[in-house]
Amino acid sequence: MIKLISANLYNNAKRVMLRKTTFGSVIINNNERYFCSTTLPVRDDSPNVFEVTKENFEAEVLGAKVPIVLDCWASWCGPCVRLTPIITDAVEAQDGKVKLAKLNTDEQPELAQALQIQSLPTVFAIHNGKPVDNFIGLLGEEEVEMFVQRAAALED
């Protein structure tokens, strides 16, 4: 039997967690099968996470009052999907000292081109309208948390 859910599989080697983000696959967890449909990986219940478009990029990212972690992703990118809950949790743990901007490169190709995105995921820390740090690819949970903590410390 396959149950339909809208969730993301996040596996950190010790446990399996289901999260509401994006995925399109069958997940086997404790011998139960789940089909995860694709949804937008932006928490709509958080003031610290938002979707980036070419219309709001300048005001919301470059003109932000707090540091921004800009996550450039695509729904077909497996590492992007695995990064989403890790980076979201790391940002939420900073209690508003940093915000997470999610840029879907398939939906915003002009912006991705302007940022010269060549690999996914690509993540930038932006402070005072300028990129000050970045990483490309999927990092471990601790490395992502340290990246977000460094970005949050830029507020001071």
In tens digits, what is the pLDDT along the chain, a chain of 156 residues? Answer: 333 333 333 333 223 333 433 344 444 455 554 444 444 445 557 899 999 999 999 999 999 999 999 999 999 999 999 999 999 999 999 999 999 999 999 999 999 999 999 999 999 999 999 999 999 999 999 999 999 999 999 965
96/139 same-domain check: yes
Identify which of 116, 113, 126, 110 has the alpha carbon closest to the alpha carbon of residue 62: 126
66/89 same-domain check: yes
Can you say whether the dihedral through the CA atoms of 129, 135, 136, 140 is positive or negative? negative
User: The tokens of 74 are what?
Assistant: 């695509």
Residue 127 CA to residue 26 CA, distance in Å, equals: 39
Quick check: is 41 in a domain? no
54/124 same-domain check: yes
Q: Residue 132 belongs to what domain range?
A: 49-153
58/15 same-domain check: no
67/109 same-domain check: yes
32/63 same-domain check: no
State how many domains the chain has.
2
Quick check: is 42 in a domain? no
7/74 same-domain check: no
31/7 same-domain check: yes
Quick check: is 93 in a domain? yes
Instruction: Output phi, psi for 58, to 5 deg.
Output: -60, -45
Quick check: is 43 in a domain? no
Alpha helices in 21-137 (DSSP H): 78-92, 109-114
Q: What is the pTM of this model?
A: 0.74
Which CATH number fits the domain that encloses residue 116?
3.40.30.10
64/94 same-domain check: yes
What pLDDT does residue 125 have?
Answer: 98
- What positions carry a catalytic annotation? 77, 80
